[in-house]
Chain A
């Protein structure tokens, strides 16, 4: 079964709009780690955030914010006032405590910000 689901394959927004990228995960572990990565056209995945399962505080970093909801197994990512440089593929990933070597990545959401 797929452990990380990113249902949105492609999203297009106009510059300055807000956009939320959805991520739903599946795990039986009570301890786990969630990540978001950005992959710009250059190809290199860039780490954005790590969240531990025991820390449900939402986090804001500049125009980026993350909403972690254990009750719905979701870890959504919002970009406020989007910019053209935000255009990239965004990946959500899960790493379980008991099988720590395996990172489970979603299929990614391709975001295009139109000027």
Chain B
């Protein structure tokens, strides 16, 4: 496997179900992200993990629960979702590095997985 992989690619679930999305990056990166992409809207950043620590949580409802057991794996646990949660969920990773200049950081591009198309009935 290369790059960023996501499973499953498609998921249909009822509002009472519990499911999990999985993301794996094979790039040796130190940061991983979950995004939600809905039609006609900008990509919405949901969660950011840097070195396995959650560093950003953009007011995401508690029915979405992320987990990052190591730097290569990221999960998104789903429970009691609503129909408006139907969207494409994208995982991404990046390698951000300290420049050594007054604590500066060089932010590199994100590499995205193919996404999970989620439909909530």
Bound together, the chains give a CA A100 to CA B64 distance in angstroms of 23
Residues in chain A near residue B108, CB distance under 8 A? 50
Nearest CB on B from A76, distance (A): 18
Q: How many residues of B contact A (CB 8 A)?
A: 27
B residues 48-76 near A (Cβ < 8 Å) are 48, 50, 55-56
Evaluate whether A101 and B50 lie within 8 angstroms (CB atoms) in the complex, with A45-B90, A91-B43 already known: yes
Residues of A within 8 A of B (CB-CB), count: 24
Which chain B residue has the least Cβ–Cβ distance from A33?
Answer: B107
CA distance in complex: A101, B93 (Å): 11
CB pair A107 B107 closer than 8 Å: no
- Inter-chain CA distance A37–B112, complex, in Å, is 10
Show the binding face of B for A, using Cβ within 8 Å. Answer: 31, 33, 40-43, 45, 48, 50, 55-56, 88, 90, 92, 96, 104-105, 107-115, 117
* A positions within 8 Å CB-CB of B: 2, 4, 33, 35, 37, 42-47, 50, 91, 95, 97, 100-108
Q: What are 6 A-B pairs with beta-carbon distances under 8 A?
A: A2-B42, A37-B112, A50-B108, A91-B43, A101-B56, A106-B42
